[in-house]
Amino acid sequence: MTDPVIQVKNLKKYYSVHQKEPGLLGSLKSLFKRKYYDVKAVDNVSFEIKEGELVGFIGPNGAGKTTTLKVLSGLLYPTSGQVSVLGFTPWERKSAYQKQFSIVMGQKNQLWWDLPAIESFILNKAIYEVPDAQFQKTLDELVDLLEVRDILKVQVRKLSLGQRMKMELIAALIHSPKILFLDEPTIGLDVVMQKKIREFIQEYNKRFNATIILTSHYMEDVKQLCERVIVIDHGTILFDGKLDEIIKKFASDKTLDVTFDGKVDLEKLKEIGKIESFEYPKATINVKRSKASEAATELLKKFQVADINITEPQIEDIIRQLFTNK
């Protein structure tokens, strides 16, 4: 069994925030005596990730996702806890570590705005001391994968958002990092470009066996790319496991979509389960997960049914419920 390349144990990151009373009097008081309270951005988080894994790191705004990624990349010092990435402690910021990871933040730019993207790639080549032959080979592979050869020499400011995101990915990957932190890489992109970026991430992961942590508000990104997800809220991990296990663990109900072929007695239908909607000849009924097959059998016995379909709840709904009912 492969050893984990990322190990996080009891990670905490607290911020001390000044609490000021309102009004002029509050401002004057704060000059002499300030009150502070701790914001727990990350609170006792632990997980391990093996080489080549593509893990979804999901949660609402302020959950602690970006803070965790910044600690893993050495941009932030933790309050306490142990972190090892490829055997390095990130916040020691050793050159050997910095050459082996990359972080892409969908809302931050690393490209020179007034220059063609190729100039930024050449700059990164020098920063990461990438040999000429390796640089050209990697650049050719990435350019072909992302289909951007014809716009390499176009000023970044003149590129569309989707084109810029592709260039950001190339800039981040020009030194062939073993670890990739992707923070909202498809944010603001249209559905077609989101799909293309997802396909690239998937292909890059397979081709180079890169270890990737992906945060995204778009559940489609996570569903298409990640077998495993870590769900975090208020700095605490709520779930860590396979995506389909979330359904088994947290979805208590299933939905029966029924099309009838005869009269329907509503009172009898209510005995089957909770009627979410009914507009003859169709009905949607919620039943307990363990009772779904039994409920379907009852429907077939008691009613004239043309069609019946049992469905799982949407992942988005389960995650939303997780955060709401925590």
Q: How many residues does the chain have?
A: 326
264 and 154 inside one domain? no
Per-residue confidence (pLDDT) for residue 30, from 0 to 100: 66
Which band of pLDDT confidence, cut at 50, 70 and 90, is reported for residue 262? confident
168 and 264 inside one domain? no
Per-residue confidence (pLDDT) for residue 72, from 0 to 100: 96
Domain count, the chain: 2
Query: Which one of 212, 231, 247 terminates a domain?
Result: 247
Structure tokens at 265: 């007695």
Which band of pLDDT confidence, cut at 50, 70 and 90, is reported for residue 158? very high
Q: Which residues, 6 or more positions from 114, have their beta carbon under 8 angstroms from its beta carbon?
A: 155, 156, 157
295 touches 285 (CB < 8 A): yes
What would the pLDDT profile of 56-91 be if each residue is shown by its tens digit? 999 888 889 999 999 999 999 999 999 999 999 999
202 and 283 inside one domain? no
Asked whether the predicted pLDDT for residue 326 surpasses 90, the reply is: no
Query: Which one of 198, 221, 247 terminates a domain?
Result: 247
What would the pLDDT profile of 267-298 be if each residue is shown by its tens digit? 899 999 999 999 999 999 999 988 999 999 99
38 and 161 inside one domain? yes
Find the Cα–Cα–Cα–Cα dihedral 27, 29, 31, 32, rounded to 10°.
180
The residue among 171 and 220 whose pLDDT is bigger is 171
Long-range contacts of 156-159 (CB under 8 A, 24+ apart): 156/109, 156/111, 156/112, 156/113, 156/114, 156/115, 156/116, 156/117, 156/120, 157/113, 157/114, 159/117
95 and 191 inside one domain? yes
Tell the residue number behind the tokens 């955060």, with chain if given: 323
102 and 154 inside one domain? yes
What would the pLDDT profile of 206-251 be if each residue is shown by its tens digit? 999 999 999 988 888 888 999 999 999 889 998 999 988 887 777 7
Range of the domain at 295: 252-325
The CATH number linked to 305 is 3.30.70
43 and 65 inside one domain? yes
CA 228 to chain centre: 11
204 and 59 inside one domain? yes
Find the Cα–Cα–Cα–Cα dihedral 129, 132, 133, 136, rounded to 10°.
100
Per-residue confidence (pLDDT) for residue 249, from 0 to 100: 79
The CATH number linked to 115 is 3.40.50.300
In terms of C-beta density within 10 A (0-12 exposed, 13-18 middle, 19 or more buried), how is residue 108 classed? exposed
What would the pLDDT profile of 130-156 be if each residue is shown by its tens digit? 999 999 999 999 999 899 999 999 999
Buried b (16+ CB within 10 A) or exposed e, 190-210: eeebbebbbebbeebbeebeb
Spatial separation of the C-alpha atoms in residues 44 and 212, rounded to whole Å: 22
24 and 82 inside one domain? yes
Which band of pLDDT confidence, cut at 50, 70 and 90, is reported for residue 24? low
Spatial separation of the C-alpha atoms in residues 38 and 96, rounded to whole Å: 34
**Residue % of the chain over a pLDDT of 70:** 93
The residue among 37 and 109 whose pLDDT is bigger is 109
Query: Which one of 188, 216, 247 terminates a domain?
Result: 247
214 and 273 inside one domain? no
235 and 272 inside one domain? no
Neighbours of 141 (CB within 10 A): 16
Which pTM does this prediction carry?
A: 0.80
On average, the pLDDT of the chain sits at 89
270 and 242 inside one domain? no
Asked whether the predicted pLDDT for residue 36 surpasses 80, the reply is: no
